[in-house]
Amino acid sequence: MEIQNSVMNNRKMFEQAFNYPTNKDIVFRDFKFQGKEGFVIYIDGMADGDKISDFILRPLLNKNDFSDGLKSVLQISSLTEETDFSEAVSAVLQGDCALCIEGDIKAYICETKGFDKRGVEKPQVENSIVGALEAFTETLRTNTTLLHKIIKNPGLTTEMVTVGKLNNLTCGVVYMNGIVNKEFVEEVKRRLKGIDTDFAQSGGMIEQFIEDHGSSLFQTVTTTERPDNAAALLMQGRIAIIVDGSPRVIIAPITLFSILKTSEESALRAPFASIVRLIRIIAVFAAFLLPALYIAITTFHAEMIPASLLLSIAKSRINIPYPAIIELLIMEFSFTLIREAGRQIPGALGGTIGIVGGLILGEAAVSAGFVSQACVIIIAFTGLGNFAIPQYQSAFTAQLLRIVFIICAGLMGFLGVGLAFVILVGYVNSLTSFGIDYVNPVFSGNAPMFPKQPVWEYEDRPSELRTKKTQSQPIVSRTWKKGD
Amino acid sequence: MDKLKLRTYDGIAVTGFLMLPALFSTGLSKLAEQNNTAAWIALLAAFVIMLCLFLITAPLMKRYEGKNIIEITSLVMGRPFGVIYGIALATYFSYFTGVHIKESVEILKIYGYNLTPIYIIAGLILLTAVIMNFYGGHAIVKSAGFFFVIIIVGIIFIMLLGLNRYNPDYLAPVLGNGISDIAKNSLFTASVFDNVIILFLFAPAFSNTAKMRKAGVLSISVTAAAFVLLYLCFIMMFSPSVASKMMSGFMEMGKSSYYNHFFYRFESILLFFLIFSSVMLASIGLFAVRESSACTFKLKPSKIITVICAVPVLIATFIPANILDLTEKYLPVIRQYSVFFMAGVPLLVLIVSTVKRVFKYEKI
């Protein structure tokens, strides 16, 4: 539908679209200048009323000379002309105001967004000791600004895509022009535009809509709340999807090992970062396999344990009325319960719940003969390993697969664990993220997860991204060394 | 199903998994039994023979770039011969995979699962192979690449583990039972490396035949090196006469290594190498069966074809050992219990149709 030259018709169209006057959020401000009727429409609260009255209406009503057109009269930073009615409605919904004047077959869209928003705060989940302390917010523009602050390059490009037929959620597709492979940008836009739903609310929903394997146990896109992390990934040639209203930015395409890396590591010296990564790898291993190996060894392969340790484990289990697998599953459930309870209860009380649950309940369960000390140690170590996984959703993956491994170990010992592990490796190898392999093949030539290379050795961008510019720095990036 | 793409390393890993698993089961002890102290020389000779055979036949693939060996056979010898060769190849890989699963299961039973029935272990390995095939050839190849590193590390680990127990005197006499015996056995020992020919089946997956040839040469070399070195370590640890009586040389080497009170029972950990190698072999073997069957009968590889191809592998796994095995285990199934399957299913359908009151078939 097009904007018409009759201001009355345009007003009726807007009234109908916004269910006016029943809808009390909508403000129409009629005016007359140079003998022509006109009106401004905006949503109360979304648009800045002061800005509209001071910089749009006042110049319109006070100025007499309009020979240079409206653009030279309205004192507003962004003014666009829109002939499509639905685009004008969409702009009003975003917080802008639409100005219609009798005889003009277009609406003037003025940038007047003025809704309340949260300021830039510290990251809540991805904490850093040596890295930056800014996190994304719920406002799309603030988030793009945070990225522009880090990447001061004209190539940083944001394209807007609207998702959700009824709620018109704006998503910003951000990439580094000149580095990124445009095929991936087109694919991201194609998938976002291809979402046919009435209501898309959060980044989490968008993630599920656009993933290659939406119901997979492994996330094939990642999210970050840290602008420095997002900027680093953009410079690698990946794409950021900023969803309006979501404080986490989606990054695609990704690989499994990119989930296990954190932005802080690039700020650390290579030996320290390598130690951190090694600990994380061990933690992931513990989170997935430790309880299963405990079950397998104590139930099927007890000959592996030195006699003294075996006796100690047997002694601690002497009063436990059920097999080790049931004991572990009960503890696993309890641990999850404590964690969820701690997460749901706000503030410091959540932490208290964790301590109370962990210490008192654990001690009481051992004393009452419900579980053995060995089991509590294993579950505690596994829980810590789970927390060491950087991504919240990946921690769920570890938890679910841990239960599968525990069951396999309880049924068939090392054979069960081995077979389940092969299936897991096969499954992960079958996954893709926006068409690229989720796991790099062995000896792919990319930087290894461990040991972490020094920053001056990161010459190439990840090969799987097929970037336009493959090198991020020359082989000798410390040119000052040449003179030494 | 995805289109398979192979790099040189993938080719090495895939063929390696068809040849190396013999090391973890009875391969080493059988070599000791047949060739005594000279088995490593026979292995080297077999390596040279197989390398020559591979290099002689590889140019055939270059002449028909983009075609696999079954398609080339059809083109050169005619469609009927191509079909027969395709069926023979599928049958061979079914048999090969089934027999290896059986062998691995027997070793697993001896070294940790003596109370678990064979059919459960074999069934689980085959089920895993089927699931791996459901994930597609690309996933199998990439997984093979991952596990190949683990397997090589395992072989090096076990060789280093026995360092303090090696006795070089056991290598004498170097020529074993004599040169004529070595020459006679070398040709047969070449069969250890003959699975490199699977690369001819996957030739179109390589970007060019030079890469395929490189993968073939390297995989034979890596496998031969692993066989020769591990065999030398094996007989240096046990002497050929003792070694020939063992079931799994690899597991026994782990079992016999002792360092201190804490690290003293390794064989259970070594089970992982046996499990990984046997499952990967089963997966690649089943994939080869599927690919050769699909190519022969011009079918599109699918999950249902994978399941159908798993049936002959399963049958090969449970081939009766002798007439006693046949009469005690297999014939009772047919003569005593088959009634439950043959009559049971129709009876069940009849009961269900009665309960559901479906008595008439209406043509639409």
Q: Across the interface, which of B116, B128, B271 has its CB nearest the CB of A414?
A: B271
Handedness of CA A439, A445, A449, A450 (dihedral sign): positive
Return all residues near B56 (Cβ < 8 A) that are at least 6 apart. none
CB of B246 within 8 A of CB of B252?
yes
Which of A303, A419, A441 minimises the CB distance to B275? A419
Contact A413 B131 (CB under 8 A): no
User: What pLDDT shows up at residue B261?
Assistant: 66
Half-sphere exposure of residue A346, counting CA atoms within 13 Å on the CB side? 0
B67: tokens are: 């075609």
Alpha helices (H) along A42-139: 49-52, 58-62, 85-93
Mean pLDDT of B327-337: 77
Percent of chain B with pLDDT strictly greater than 90 = 54
| Phi, psi angles (nearest 5°) of residue A99 | -115, 125
Q: What's the CATH superfamily of B8-319? A: Amino acid/polyamine transporter I (1.20.1740.10)
B146 vs A442: CB contact, 8 Å cut-off?
yes
Among A229, A248, A225, A226, CA closest to A238: A229
Assign A242 a pLDDT band (cuts: 50, 70, 90): very high
Interface of A with B in 153-172 (CB under 8 A): none
Give B208→chain A minimum CA distance, Å: 19
Residue A290, amino acid: L
**CB-based contact (8 Å) between B112 and chain A?**
yes
- Residue range B92-115, pLDDT digits in tens: 999 999 999 999 999 999 888 988
Residue B331: what pLDDT?
77
Among B4, B146, B270, B284, most A C-beta atoms within 10 A, so best to mutate, is B146
Chain A interface, best mutation among B128, B141, B260, B267, by max A CB count within 10 A: B128
Residues 238-297 of B with CB under 8 A from A: 261-262, 264-265, 268-269, 271-272, 275-276, 279-280, 283
Give the helix/strand (H/E) hosting B314: helix B303-317
Buried b (16+ CB within 10 A) or exposed e, A336-361: eebbeebeeeeeeeeeebbeebbeeb
| Cα–Cα distance measured from residue B284 to residue B309, given in angstroms and rounded to the nearest whole number | 12
Write down the pLDDT at residue B182: 83
Contact (CB, 8 A) for B216 and B12: no
Over the stretch A264-281, which tens digit does the pLDDT of each residue have? 888 889 999 999 999 999
Instruction: Report the residue of chain B nearest A293, measured CA to CA.
Output: B269
Interchain CB distance below 8 Å, B271 and A437: no
Band of residue A304 on the pLDDT scale cut at 50, 70, 90: confident
Higher-confidence residue of A407 and A476: namely: A407
> Exposure string (b/e) for B317-354, b if CB count within 10 Å is 16 or more?
bbeeeeeeeeeeeeeeeeeeeeeeeeeeeeeeeeeeee
H/E stretch holding A344 reads helix A324-344
- The CA–CA distances, whole Å, from A45 to A78, A116, B245 equal 19, 8, 87
Q: Which positions in chain A touch B116 (Cβ < 8 Å)?
A: 412
Contact B282, B25 (CB under 8 A): no
- Whether B128 and A301 lie within 8 Å, measured CB to CB: no
| Closest residue to B142, CB basis, from A304, A419, A429 | A429
The C-alpha R_g of chain B, in whole angstroms, comes to: 23
SS3 state of residue A36: strand
Mean pLDDT, residues A51-61: 89
Q: Which residues of B touch A419 (CB under 8 A)?
A: 124-125, 128, 275, 279
**Taking all residues of chain B, what is their mean pLDDT, rounded to a whole number?**
88
pLDDT tens per residue, range A418-452: 999 999 999 999 999 999 999 987 777 777 888 88
pLDDT for res B227: 93
- Give every strand in the sheet of A26-33, ordered side by side: A26-33, A36-43, A97-101, A107-110, A79-82
pLDDT one-digit tens code per residue, B24-56: 888 888 888 888 888 889 889 999 999 999 999
Tell if the CB–CB gap between B283 and A439 is shorter than 8 Å.
no
Q: Which residues of A touch B262 (CB under 8 A)?
A: 306
Q: Where are the alpha helices (DSSP H) in A151-221?
A: 182-193, 203-210
Length of chain A: 484
Q: Where are the domains of chain A?
A: 7-110, 140-254, 270-433
ipTM of the complex: 0.90
Residue A429 with chain B: CB contacts under 8 Å: 135, 138-139, 142-143, 146
Separation between Cα atoms, residue A76 and residue A55, nearest integer Å = 6
Condensed to tens digits (0 to 9), the pLDDT of residues B176-221 reads 778 888 888 788 888 889 899 999 999 999 999 999 999 999 999 9
Q: Give residues 116 to 145 of B whose Cβ lies within 8 Å of A.
A: 116, 121, 124-125, 128, 131-132, 135-136, 138-140, 142-143, 145
Rounded to whole angstroms, the Cα distance separating A425 from A445 reads 20
The band of B1, judged by pLDDT with boundaries at 50, 70 and 90, is very low
Taking each helix axis from N to C end, the angle separating A392-430 and B137-161, rounded to the nearest 10 degrees, works out to 100
Indicate whether B336 pLDDT > 60.
yes
Radius of gyration of chain A (CA): 29
Cβ–Cβ contact A445 with B under 8 A: no
**Number of neighbouring beta carbons within 10 Å of residue A73:** 17
Q: Within B64-197, where are the H helices?
A: 69-77, 79-110, 118-135, 137-161, 179-189
d(CA A22, CA A13): 15
Instruction: Look at residue A352 and tell me whether its pLDDT is greater than 80.
Output: no
**CA gap A88, A466 in Å, rounded:** 39
DSSP B170: G
pLDDT digits (tens, 9 = 90+) for A356-396: 777 788 888 888 888 888 898 999 899 899 888 888 888 89
Asked if A43 and A27 count as a contact pair (C-beta separation under 8 A), the reply is yes
Phi and psi at A418, nearest 5°, equal: -60, -45
Helices (H), B206-266: 209-238, 240-243, 249-256
Reported as a single tens digit per residue, the pLDDT across B263-281 is 666 678 889 999 999 999 9
Closest by alpha carbon to A42, among A99, A103, A81, A2? A99
Of A306, A415, A425, Cβ closest to residue B108: A415
- A429 touching B (Cβ < 8 Å): yes
Spatial distance between the Cα atoms of A101 and A81, rounded to a whole number of angstroms: 12
User: Residue B261 is nearest to which of A300, A306, A437, comparing CB atoms?
Assistant: A306
* Residue B245 reports pLDDT greater than 90: no
CB neighbourhood size of B66 (10 A): 11
For residue B360, the model assigns a pLDDT of 67
Query: If you average pLDDT over residues A194-199, what whole number do you get?
Result: 93
